[in-house]
Amino acid sequence: MKKAQLKENLYRWFFGLFAFSSLIFLVGITIILFKEGLPLFKEINFFNTIAGRYWYPTYEPPEFGMLPLILASFWVTVGALFVCVPLGVGSALYIHELAGDRQKAILKPLVEILASIPSIVYGFFGMVIVAPLLQDWLNLPVGQTAFTGSLMLGIMATPTVCSIAEDALGFVPKGFREASFAVGANRWQTLTRVVIPAAGSGISTAIILGMSRAVGETMTVLMVTGGAAVIPKSFFQPVRPMTSTIAAEMGETVIGSTHYHALFAIGLILFFITLVFNIVAEFISRRFRIKLGLGR
């Protein structure tokens, strides 16, 4: 009896360790980000960094203006929303509300396959196929632009948005629909006036998580956005988001230098952005569940 209990405790500890290891990783990453990122602001004024317009990290004297990088991430993410919201929410609505069982059986796995394509494949596809096409069609000097990045990121974020939005639609209690049909509403009216408002905050969560996916994506934007560190004037100009700056420069920089700390500081900013996105998403989805009477 005692041996069995000991064994059980042992297993408990063992798996508990696994469960808590992700917490350890999170804490470790956060500590390192702060430890390596904050020294930058000792050397350079925080405001000058965030609002600086020029990123020349290896010149004498170096300039660490992150505004072009932050704005580029912002632009590309907003652009991606214009692609992934209609596509993702639209396909979730179709799959959940309109598609028959056979279509559903084909469409759902297909969307999930889209999510499992590695980002470097999207990047390669964007660089070799999409960018030259856009360059020809729109008569641009170069095809690697914020628009190209938005397009690729939007396609990449679509499965995330679609599957979470579909879950949200699934949470809408059956009674809502039945009540709507009962008072004589047709399918379209039920969908637009009952189901979508009821699932609204769930869909918002889906969109925010899609944004969080887009803003943190690295390989694809590195390959398709061109990488010019300027404040973008139009969507059809090359830009350099924060993630691609870190990816391109980290391997070659002198470890412990100001430039190295600056790259960690960018990582810190990105970390905060995605953290806020995830907190907001969590907050909205909690309210959504309470609203539908699912509790928590």
Pick 204 or 243: Cβ nearer another protein: 243
Q: Which stretch binds another protein (CB under 8 A): 4-12, 54-62, 105-113, 183-191?
A: 54-62
Applying CB under 8 A, among 39, 90, 200, 227 the residue interacting with another protein is: 227
Q: Choose which of 9, 21, 30, 58 interacts with another protein (CB under 8 A).
A: 58
Binding of another protein by 261 (CB under 8 A):
no
| Binding of residue 253 to another protein (CB under 8 A) | yes
State yes or no: residue 77 binds another protein (CB under 8 A): no
240 touching another protein, by CB under 8 A: yes
> Which CB, 41 or 54, lies closer to another protein?
54
Cα–Cα distance measured from residue 182 to residue 179, given in angstroms and rounded to the nearest whole number: 5
Distance CA 232, CA 220 (A): 19
Of 40-48, 101-109, 195-203, 229-237, the segment contacting another protein by CB under 8 A is 229-237
Cα–Cα distance, 285 to 225 (Å, whole number) = 33
For residue 133, what are its two tokens? 């096409």
DSSP 254: P
Please answer whether residues 235 and 79 qualify as being in contact, where contact means their C-beta atoms are separated by less than 8 angstroms: yes
**Is the alpha carbon torsion for 244, 247, 250, 251 positive or negative?**
negative
* Burial degree of 78 (CB within 10 A; 0-12, 13-18, 19+): middle
- Give the tokens for residue 105: 């059986």
Under rule CB under 8 A, residue 115 binds another protein: no
By CB under 8 A, residue 60 contacts another protein: yes
Please pick, from the candidates 128, 179, 279, 290, the single residue that binds another protein as defined by CB under 8 A.
128
Exposed/middle/buried for 228, CB within 10 Å: 0-12, 13-18, 19+? Answer: middle
Which of 49, 205, 244, 285 binds another protein (CB under 8 A)? It is 244
Candidates 25, 56, 82, 272; binder of another protein (CB under 8 A) is 56
* Nearest-approach distance from CB 254 to another protein, in angstroms: 5
Q: Toward another protein, which CB reaches closer, 101 or 252?
A: 252
Residue pair 159/90 in contact by the 8 Å Cβ criterion:
no
Q: Which of 135, 276, 270 is nearest to 208 (CA)?
A: 276
Question: What residues line the site for another protein (CB under 8 A)?
Answer: 54-60, 68, 127-128, 131-132, 135, 141-144, 222-223, 226-230, 237-238, 240, 244, 247-257, 259
